[in-house]
């Protein structure tokens, strides 16, 4: 079994890998303690995304704006917005519950035009909602319920639609209150669009031997502009970002497949097993084999 690269559409947007394509809802739990550098790297997608911090604290970035999120706080990310997040304290594990969905999950027609299209057309990147805010409290509660639903249970889809409708209504009500501040989109977005192109290229070709020249030729930018864009949106050099993306895919393979260590490294674009092992240990503090064993033990521990 080989890992499949992230798919993008004709506009180079990430296509979320839904469990059921007929019901495009992605619900997940992001455990930042398992990510390289405790960071979910810069990415984007066409879906709307709503999350709540279940544990710890996060520095959540939309482009260059940082929102500090504490336990119980929520965050909304609009469609097609570059974003990333980092665990604030390496010693305090951060966990976020996330629901991503396209407006097409709901019936077309008046519902889309009245409740979704206006938000997607706003010069809005997103915003955070404090746990103390009544709307944030409700959103966090509904997200926890969705994350605990079993998708094999009869009526799962209807339960999710009902809860997402209530979440979205709380988001809209929060937005209607004038005292809140929002992260707006940049008037000049050339660098943002270039960054999207380069990230999408990495997602599609991370198993290959990607060079800086590949990125610059794909996005039609100079080498210096490539480095500036990565520094601006990710705080990293291009190859740092590429290797961390590869390591994240490798960690997933180590947890979920029986591929050998060398096969995992090769599938994720690392030219040699020793180099793969060196980088993996630097980021995760353990060897790939030790990580696999620890993950196997944790998966066998009964959940409360």
DSSP 36-83: GGGEEEEE-BSSEEEEEEEES-EEEEETTEEEEE-TT-EEEE-TT--E
Is residue 211 in some structural domain?
yes
Q: What is the pLDDT of residue 190?
A: 66
Q: Name residues whose C-beta falls within 8 Å of residue 2's C-beta, 6 or more positions apart in sequence.
A: 267
CATH of the domain at 121: 2.60.120.280
User: What's the CA gap between 221 and 136, in Å, rounded?
Assistant: 41
Are 180 and 219 within one domain? Answer: no
pLDDT > 70? residue 167: yes
Q: Which residue has the higher pLDDT, 11 or 252?
A: 252
Q: Which of 20-24, 66-70, 218-222 has the highest mean pLDDT?
A: 66-70
**Could you tell me if 57 and 69 are in contact, meaning their C-beta atoms sit under 8 angstroms apart?**
yes
Are 200 and 178 within one domain? Answer: no
Are 247 and 112 within one domain? Answer: no
Are 147 and 234 within one domain? Answer: no
Are 77 and 194 within one domain? Answer: no
Q: What is the pTM of this model?
A: 0.72
Are 89 and 73 within one domain? Answer: yes
Q: Total structural domains in the chain?
A: 2
Domain boundary among 139, 163, 184: 184
Q: Which residue has the higher pLDDT, 298 or 217?
A: 217
User: What's the CA gap between 27 and 17, in Å, rounded?
Assistant: 11
The model's confidence at residue 2, banded by pLDDT at 50, 70 and 90, is very low
Question: Which parts of 179-237 fold into alpha helices (H)?
Answer: 190-205, 212-219, 223-234
pLDDT in tens, 16-64: 555 677 899 999 999 998 887 788 888 888 899 999 999 999 999 987 7
Q: What is the pLDDT of residue 12?
A: 38
Are 88 and 235 within one domain? Answer: no
Q: What is the CA radius of gyration of the chain?
A: 20
Domain boundary among 184, 207, 237: 184
Helix (H) or strand (E) holding 28: strand 26-31
pLDDT in tens, 285-295: 899 999 998 87
Q: What is the pLDDT of residue 181?
A: 82
- C-alpha distance from residue 61 to each of 77, 283, 293 (Å): 10, 21, 33
Is residue 278 in some structural domain?
yes
pLDDT in tens, 118-145: 998 888 999 999 999 999 999 999 999 9
Q: Residue 253: which domain range?
A: 190-299
Domain boundary among 158, 184, 210: 184
Is residue 8 in some structural domain?
no
Q: What is the pLDDT of residue 34?
A: 82
Are 141 and 116 within one domain? Answer: yes
Are 153 and 74 within one domain? Answer: yes
């Amino acid at each position: 079994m080989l890992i499949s690269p992230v798919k993008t559409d004709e506009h180079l947007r990430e296509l979320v890998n839904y469990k059921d394509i007929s019901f495009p809802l992605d619900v997940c739990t992001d455990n930042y303690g398992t990510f390289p550098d405790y960071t979910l790297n810069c990415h984007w997608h066409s879906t709307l995304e709503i999350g709540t911090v279940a544990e710890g604290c996060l520095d959540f970035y939309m482009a260059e704006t940082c929102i500090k999120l504490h336990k119980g706080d929520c965050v909304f990310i609009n469609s097609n917005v570059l974003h990333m997040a980092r665990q604030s304290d390496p010693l305090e594990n951060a966990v976020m519950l996330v629901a991503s969905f396209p407006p097409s999950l709901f019936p077309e027609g008046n519902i889309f035009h009245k409740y979704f299209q206006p938000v997607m057309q706003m010069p809005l990147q997103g915003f955070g909602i404090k746990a103390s805010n009544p709307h944030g409290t409700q959103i966090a509660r509904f997200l926890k319920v969705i994350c605990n639903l079993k998708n094999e249970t009869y009526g799962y889809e209807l339960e999710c639609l009902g809860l997402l409708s209530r979440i979205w209504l709380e988001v809209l009500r929060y937005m209607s209150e004038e005292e809140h501040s929002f992260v707006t989109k940049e008037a000049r977005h050339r660098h943002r669009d270039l960054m999207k192109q380069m990230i999408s290229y990495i997602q599609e070709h991370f198993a290959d031997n990607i060079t800086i020249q590949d990125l610059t030729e794909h996005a039609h930018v100079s080498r210096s502009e490539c480095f500036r864009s990565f520094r601006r949106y990710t705080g990293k050099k291009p190859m740092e970002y590429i290797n961390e993306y590869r390591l994240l895919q490798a960690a997933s393979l180590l947890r979920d497949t029986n591929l050998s260590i060398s096969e995992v490294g090769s599938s994720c674009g690392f030219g040699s097993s020793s180099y793969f092992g060196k980088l993996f240990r630097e980021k995760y503090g353990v060897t790939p084999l030790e990580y696999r064993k620890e993950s196997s033990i944790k998966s066998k521990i009964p959940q409360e």
